[in-house]
């Protein structure tokens, strides 16, 4: 049977809330529940995973605003969660006293809406009001309401914005910048705000004067106000595509002054500095460098830069954060992270020194800083077998361990190692292996689960995953994380190596890791599974269609799979810079080649597949997973589909749904991988 033609027989499954489509989804969900949720060990596994997600002794990570540390918390008694705050003095205690600001469960019950917390933007400098964002059942679109923290109530007659993919932020006590859905012509093709308005309290939103406008083909427009005392400034910007943008200083006279950096660079003002992260070579500096300019001198034409970081073959910039007087620089060397303290001196130049030692094969992350007031910082350190530890301190002062997460799974006999596979073009591809100690007299190949993403410059770094630990490692499985091209593990060049028509390089890398696992005796193809979500779901589709012989089972989560229509579905048009544009003659051929939906055939043997998605995913359309399941069923291949009715792109809206999804995934994988190979399967 031939591949799917451009005349798609399953377009009707793109009707998200269509009666026929939802009836078909309900039938598939019932099949999946009958096949997996009825498993003898399913209920116990789900309960153990739910216990991890609901555990009261998890680290409650916080963000400082003024004198308080703010946290959003979910547990067994707060399924939708509570927004709360405490002081540092209280936070140091094993059982801090928390001040509840907003109970989302109570709000959802009172308003009969499936509200999901989507964040809050506090008003500076008093932190007395917040712009609270609430999602209906997990979608990216939100409603916005002004909230009075002292009164614990939404402000009557305050700022309110109806459901949309809104961008909003405070300018002063009575004014905000807002971009939202103002009706026809106000959104980009990707569904994000195209215009920005300055909205004053007490005036109709539709009458707010416009201050900036992007094009319909751009991704989005937005604006923000810098509240730093002595450096108060307004900025506007537009994303030309997912990776290119233009930023402007909005003067008090309402004129726009372009911040003239390359459009693929990221830039922002911090006090007297302009900080620029390069994605391509500029001013004699290579892609991946971090530069600092004097902001006013830059606007006057001076391009004298202080070089804060220069990459090399093995080291890339991971991130950076400001304290009041210092810059914390996060870098990765072969995907293991470190942090340095950089300090600008009054006479020019910067000094640098390490901040903290980090164990091998671990990750350190700056959780929060206090850039307006102090040199305080919060650091999280974790590893694959090392539960998170939250450290707190001030630069040039002692550091304390504020919180230590307990072990959630048994690590006895487990090790974490890093290896390198060789891709067909000779590229060394790093990957991590976490599993039973592979001594010479060990048990031999084991069931293994290979995870990857490979896109949008996203890096997969070491982290402690209690769900995977309980569901997979404790049962004797091996877990593998592949750092393939398309990610950001080695900077912009590692990402660009798999852009557009070069996308197959990421797939070759992932297949090379799969082959290397077998060559090392860690697993066999029959015992090797693969998982990935979103763009990682596209990666899984590529494994299914290009390398089905390498895997015993594949889980494809909230995926992109129809690469000839992705740009017409929800936010898909914002990703053409990553994949290419199906409406462009130069791009369509390679997009057809990497489109799993168009490559499914009846005459290939595919491993069993579980597809997962969400009806409320308003980022990656659930039609991708639905249509792929329908096509595989038509061709007679083994496939299950689970579509959660809520949860958005995360696939789950609360811990109950998350535990259910994870239990389905791991029941499916263990069933197919934890068995001896049949004689006809070979290697």
d(CA 213, CA 179): 10
At 362 the pLDDT is: 82
> Backbone dihedral region of 570: left (phi > 0), alpha (psi from -120 to 50 degrees) or beta?
left
Residue 3 predicted with pLDDT over 60: no
Compute the average pLDDT of residues 461-472: 96
pLDDT tens per residue, range 226-254: 999 999 999 999 999 999 999 999 999 99
Q: 178: which DSSP letter?
A: E
Compute the average pLDDT of residues 364-392: 95
Q: How far is CA 176 from CA 120, 132, 193, in A?
A: 14, 13, 15
> Taking each helix axis from N to C terminus, what angle separates 504-519 and 535-546, rounded to the nearest 10 degrees?
70
pLDDT tens per residue, range 163-189: 999 999 999 999 999 999 999 999 999
Q: 187: which DSSP letter?
A: B
Compute the average pLDDT of residues 296-305: 97
**What residue spans define the domains of the chain?**
17-50+408-673, 259-310, 311-406
d(CA 342, CA 329): 7
At 652 the pLDDT is: 83
β-bridge pairing 528-533 and 256-258: unpaired
Nearest CA to 474 out of 409, 535, 518 is that of 409
Residue 153 predicted with pLDDT over 60: yes
Compute the average pLDDT of residues 88-109: 97
Compute the average pLDDT of residues 132-154: 96
d(CA 92, CA 668): 42
Cβ burial 148-170 (10 Å sphere, 16+ → b, else e):
ebeeeeeeeebbebeebbbbbbb
What stretches of 522-587 show up as alpha helix (H) in DSSP?
535-546, 576-579
d(CA 664, CA 671): 11
Percent of the chain with pLDDT over 90: 92
Mean pLDDT taken over the chain: 95
Fold classified for 17-50+408-673: Rossmann fold (3.40.50)
pLDDT tens per residue, range 555-613: 999 999 999 999 999 999 999 999 999 999 999 999 999 999 999 999 999 999 999 99
Percent of the chain with pLDDT over 70: 97
Positive or negative, the Cα torsion across 228, 229, 231, 233? positive
Q: For every residue of 601-633, which 3-state class applies, written as one string?
A: CCCCCCCCEEEEEECCCCCCCCHHHHHHHHHHH
Which region among 255-259, 371-375, 647-651, 660-664 has the lowest average model confidence (pLDDT)? 647-651
Residue 2 predicted with pLDDT over 80: no
Cβ burial 644-669 (10 Å sphere, 16+ → b, else e):
bbbbbbbbbbbbebbbbbbbbbbbbb
CB 629 within 8 A of CB 575: no
At 677 the pLDDT is: 46
How open is the CA angle 104-54-71, to the nearest 5 degrees?
Answer: 50
Residue 475, helix vs strand vs coil: helix
- Split at pLDDT 50, 70, 90, the class of 388 is very high
- Split at pLDDT 50, 70, 90, the class of 19 is very high
d(CA 167, CA 116): 17
Nearest CA to 593 out of 656, 504, 470, 655 is that of 504
Per the DSSP assignment, residues forming a β-bridge with 389 are 381, 404
Nearest CA to 569 out of 541, 529, 542, 597 is that of 597
Mind telling me the catalytic residues? 534, 649
pLDDT tens per residue, range 605-664: 999 999 999 999 999 999 999 999 999 999 999 999 999 988 888 878 789 999 999 999
Residue 519 predicted with pLDDT over 60: yes
Nearest CA to 500 out of 433, 449, 455 is that of 455
Cα first-last separation, the chain: 27
The predicted model scores a pTM of 0.94
What stretches of 267-366 show up as alpha helix (H) in DSSP?
295-299
Residue 1 predicted with pLDDT over 60: no
């Amino acid at each position: 049977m031939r591949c799917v033609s451009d005349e798609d027989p399953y377009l009707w499954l793109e009707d998200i809330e269509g009666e026929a489509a939802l009836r078909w989804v309900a039938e598939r969900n019932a099949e999946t529940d009958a096949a997996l949720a009825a498993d003898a060990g399913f209920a116990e596994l789900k309960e153990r995973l739910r216990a991890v997600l609901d555990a009261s002794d998890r680290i409650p990570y916080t963000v400082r605003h003024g004198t308080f540390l703010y946290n959003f918390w979910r547990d067994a008694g707060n399924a939708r969660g509570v927004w709360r705050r405490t002081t540092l003095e209280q936070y140091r205690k094993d059982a801090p006293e928390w001040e509840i600001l907003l109970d989302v469960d109570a709000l959802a019950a009172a308003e009969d809406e499936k509200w999901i917390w989507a964040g809050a933007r506090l008003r500076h400098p008093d932190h007395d009001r917040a712009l609270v964002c609430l999602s209906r059942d997990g979608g990216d679109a939100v409603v916005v309401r002004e909230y009075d923290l002292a009164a614990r109530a939404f402000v009557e007659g305050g700022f309110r914005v109806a459901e949309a993919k809104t961008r909003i932020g405070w300018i002063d006590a009575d004014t905000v910048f807002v971009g939202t859905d103002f009706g026809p012509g106000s959104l980009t093709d990707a569904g994000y705000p195209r215009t920005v308005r300055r909205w004053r309290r007490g005036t109709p939103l539709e009458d707010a004067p416009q201050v900036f406008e992007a094009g319909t083909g751009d991704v989005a427009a937005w604006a923000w106000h810098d509240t730093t005392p002595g450096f108060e400034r307004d900025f506007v910007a537009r994303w030309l595509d997912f990776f290119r943008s233009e930023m402007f200083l909005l003067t008090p006279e309402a004129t726009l002054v372009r911040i003239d950096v390359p459009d693929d660079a990221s830039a922002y003002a911090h006090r007297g500095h302009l900080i620029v992260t390069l994605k391509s070579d500029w001013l004699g500096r290579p892609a991946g460098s971090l530069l600092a300019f004097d902001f006013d001198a830059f606007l006057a034409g001076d391009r004298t830069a202080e070089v804060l970081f220069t990459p090399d073959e093995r080291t890339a910039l991971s991130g950076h954060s400001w304290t009041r007087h210092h810059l914390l620089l996060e870098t990765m060397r072969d995907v293991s992270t470190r942090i340095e303290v950089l300090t600008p001196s009054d006479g020019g130049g910067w000094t640098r020194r390490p901040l903290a030692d980090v164990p091998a094969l671990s990750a350190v992350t700056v959780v929060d800083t206090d850039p307006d007031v102090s040199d305080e910082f919060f650091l999280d350190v974790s590893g694959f077998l090392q539960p998170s530890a939250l450290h707190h301190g001030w630069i040039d002062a002692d550091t304390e361990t504020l919180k230590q997460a307990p072990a959630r799974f048994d690590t006895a006999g487990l090790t974490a190692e890093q290896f390198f596979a060789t891709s067909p073009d000779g590229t060394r591809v790093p990957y991590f292996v976490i599993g039973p100690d592979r001594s010479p007299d060990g048990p031999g190949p084991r069931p293994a689960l290979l995870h990857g993403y490979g896109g949008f410059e996203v890096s997969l770094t070491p982290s402690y995953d209690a769900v995977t630990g309980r569901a997979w490692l404790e049962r004797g499985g091996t877990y593998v994380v592949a750092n393939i091209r398309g990610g950001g593990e080695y900077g912009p060049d590692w990402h660009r190596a798999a852009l557009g028509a070069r996308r197959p390089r990421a797939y070759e890398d992932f297949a090379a890791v799969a082959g290397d696992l077998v060559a090392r005796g860690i697993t066999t193809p029959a015992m090797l599974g693969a998982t990935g979500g979103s763009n990682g779901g596209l990666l899984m589709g590529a494994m299914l269609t290009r390398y089905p012989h390498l895997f015993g089972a594949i889980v494809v989560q909230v995926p992109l799979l129809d690469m000839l229509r992705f740009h017409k579905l929800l936010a898909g048009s914002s990703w053409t810079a990553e994949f290419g544009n199906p409406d462009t003659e130069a791009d369509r051929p390679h997009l057809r080649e990497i489109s799993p939906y168009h490559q499914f055939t009846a005459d290939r043997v595919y491993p069993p597949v579980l597809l997962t998605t969400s009806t409320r995913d308003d980022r990656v359309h659930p039609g991708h997973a639905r249509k792929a399941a329908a096509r595989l069923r038509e061709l007679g291949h083994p496939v299950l589909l689970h579509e959660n009715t809520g949860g958005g792109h995360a696939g789950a809206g609360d811990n109950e749904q998350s535990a259910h999804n994870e239990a389905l995934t791991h029941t499916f994988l263990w069933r197919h991988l934890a068995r001896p190979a049949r004689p006809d399967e070979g290697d």
